[in-house]
Structure 1
Amino acid sequence: MNNVIKAVAGGVAGACALTLLHETLRRFVPDAPRMDVLGMRAISKLMNMAGEEPPQDEKELHNWTLAGDILSNSVYYSLAGTGKDAWWRGAVLGAAAGAGAVLLPGPMGLGEAPSNRTTKTQAMTIGYYLLGGMVAAAVGYALSGDEEAAEEV
């Protein structure tokens, strides 16, 4: 399997892990980040700027947000790549995404509360994205195992 496909598989795995974790914990943990709320605000804001009407049904808008999150995070986490270097790339990408998710929504006009409400919320936000990066790295590394073993011989 080609390294780009392996990296994309890792990116998809990381994005799905992030989304699954977020969607599960937001239902049970009061201080959990609400990245879905930020996503819905971002989609609405962008569509309004483009002169389009965003979905009025909150469930439909939420589904758009989840699809957009998985797509964009898959592309982003694919940058972790394959091989043993995927580990440090996944960690850096995850930590950077988490820090950005805490620091950028306010200046972008999306509100701070969903990812910055409490210290616990901030730590969970960074941790979620770090986990996504590490899952992407693990899959990229695992898929590259046969090729790396062949190179060592």
Structure 2
Amino acid sequence: MNNILKSLAGSLAGACIVTAVHETLRRQVSDAPRMDILGMRAISKLMLKADTTPPQDKDELHTWALAGDIVSNTLYYSLAGTGKDAWWRGTILGVAAGAGALLLPGPLGLGEEPSNRTTKTQVMAFSYYLLGGLLAGAIGHALSDEE
């Protein structure tokens, strides 16, 4: 398996864990971040800018947002790559994504509440993305041909 496929395997795992943790905790914890809402808003906003009507059915829009999260996070976490330094790259990517989850929604016009409602919400949002980066880096490292 070449390094690109190995990197994508790790990044897909990281992206899926971010989405799975988010979807599980948002149903069980009142202060959980609602990154799905940010995704739904982003998709609607982009589609309207492109003179396209976004899905009117909330379940369909939610599905699009989850799929978009997995695809975009997979591509992002793939930057962790493989090899002995994949851990560090994954960690840095996770920290950057976590910071972005807290700092970018407001300036992007998506609203701040879904990721910044409470301190607990902020810690959870940051932690999801850090976990995704750590997992992508760990798998990239484990699949590496380097010692």
Same fold (TM over 0.5): yes
2:77 aligned partner: 77
SS in structure 1 of the partner of residue 27 of structure 2: coil
How far off its partner does 1:138 sit? 1.1
* 2:79 maps to 1:100: no
> Which structure 2 segments of 5+ residues have no match?
none
Identity in percent: 71
- Give the whole-Å Cα distance in 1 for the aligned partners of 2:137 and 2:146: 15
Aligned AA (1:27): R
SS in structure 1 of the partner of residue 64 of structure 2: helix
- Give the whole-Å Cα distance in 1 for the aligned partners of 2:120 and 2:60: 29
So what's the TM-score if we normalise by structure 1? 0.95
Aligned AA (2:78): S
Q: Cα deviation per residue 1:89-148 (whole Å; 9 max; x = unaligned)?
A: 00000010010010010011100000011111111111000000001011111111xx22
- Give the whole-Å Cα distance in 2 for the aligned partners of 1:17 and 1:44: 24
1:10 aligned partner: 10
- Give the whole-Å Cα distance in 2 for the aligned partners of 1:137 and 1:108: 28
SS in structure 2 of the partner of residue 30 of structure 1: coil
SS in structure 1 of the partner of residue 73 of structure 2: helix
* 2:42 maps to 1:61: no
SS in structure 2 of the partner of residue 138 of structure 1: helix
> Which structure 1 segments of 5+ residues have no match?
none
SS in structure 1 of the partner of residue 84 of structure 2: coil
Aligned residues: 147
Aligned AA (2:41): R
**Alignment RMSD, CA only?**
0.6
* 2:146 maps to 1:148: yes
- Give the whole-Å Cα distance in 1 for the aligned partners of 2:98 and 2:51: 31
2:28 aligned partner: 28
* 2:40 maps to 1:40: yes
How far off its partner does 1:84 sit? 1.3
Aligned AA (2:134): M
How far off its partner does 1:24 sit? 0.3
Aligned AA (2:57): D
So what's the TM-score if we normalise by structure 2? 0.98
Runs of 4+ in 1 over 6 A off after TM superposition: none
SS in structure 2 of the partner of residue 26 of structure 1: helix
Matches within 5 A, 1:127-146: 127-144=127-144
